Amino acid sequence: MTETLKQRLVCLANEYETASFCDNDPSQFLRWYDFSRIADVECASFIAAMLAFGARTQFLPKIRAILQTADEASGSISAWLAEGAYKTSFLHGAKKFYRFYSYDDMQSFFSELASVLEQAVTPGEFFRKKYNESECPLPELIASAFPESRLVPKGKNCANKRIHMFLRWMVRRSSPVDLGLWTWILPSDLLIPLDVHVLQEAVRMELLPPNASATRKTAERLTAAMNEVFPGDPARADFALFGLGVAATGLRI
């Protein structure tokens, strides 16, 4: 990688990793609740991450509707889940809630997230305990906590972009976007969230081969390359590549 390209990536990250990045991004929901309410922050963030695919104009209102429903019914998302209020205040049925996920799919997702809260005060504490007790990679541990939920991506060979985006939100420190709540994981352990925009820009910059696809192996390869540019914090490249891709299209897919 040339020094010119490295400098360009750093400049792009500096340009896009700002507080205003959240304005039209699912990361806006990281700050829906006050940081003194960590369970609410983490639950809202996880729900936002799992629904963050497709057009922003479609999924942002869906995420907002869930959090507003929870607030109206129980005062917060963690209370809504823990009390089981989602069972009565959120619809059931085969009708689609968003894209190919039905209201019943969402009920299954809420139920398994509620189960996480039954076992720990916050999702982060639940996953920290599981991580300390297992040699399984954290993304796989997260997916395994939702065995019945179609909404949570699974598969050892998949890029699992939404889980890695959630982890970026939770782990990266000193960012105007990411929260850095999970101090028990290092930013250097993160994989870059590999979505269409990131993949396309990485290919265009010849950071990946033209035939690259959205797999875990590709995400690992790109992350290793980005560690040369952002030592110890390779996921910061998500802002550079994703920001550039979104600026060109105006959509998140």
pLDDT tens digits, one per residue of 91-103: 999 999 999 999 9
pLDDT cut 90: percent of the chain above it: 90
Predicted pLDDT at 12: 95
Predicted pLDDT at 155: 83
In this model, does residue 213 exceed pLDDT 80? yes
Read off the pLDDT of each residue in 64-89 and give the average, rounded to a whole number.
98
**Chain center to CA of 57:** 18
pLDDT tens digits, one per residue of 122-170: 999 999 999 999 989 999 999 999 999 999 998 888 899 999 999 999 9
DSSP state of 100: T
In the structure, what pLDDT confidence band is assigned to residue 1 with cuts at 50, 70 and 90? confident
In the structure, what pLDDT confidence band is assigned to residue 84 with cuts at 50, 70 and 90? very high
In this model, does residue 252 exceed pLDDT 80? no
Contact criterion met (CB below 8 Å) for 117 and 127: no
C-beta neighbour count of 2 within 10 angstroms: 8
Q: What is the pTM of this model?
A: 0.94
Predicted pLDDT at 253: 38
End-to-end CA distance of the chain: 28
Read off the pLDDT of each residue in 72-83 and give the average, rounded to a whole number.
98
What is the identity of the amino acid at 23? D
Read off the pLDDT of each residue in 224-241 and give the average, rounded to a whole number.
97
252 vs 219, higher pLDDT: 219
In this model, does residue 76 exceed pLDDT 50? yes
* CA angle (19, 24, 29) in 5-degree steps: 75
Q: What is the DSSP string of 162-208?
A: HHHHHHHHHH--S-SS-----TTS-GGGPPP---HHHHHHHHHTTSS
β partners of residue 158: 215
251 vs 151, higher pLDDT: 151
Predicted pLDDT at 98: 97
Average pLDDT over the chain, rounded to an integer? 94
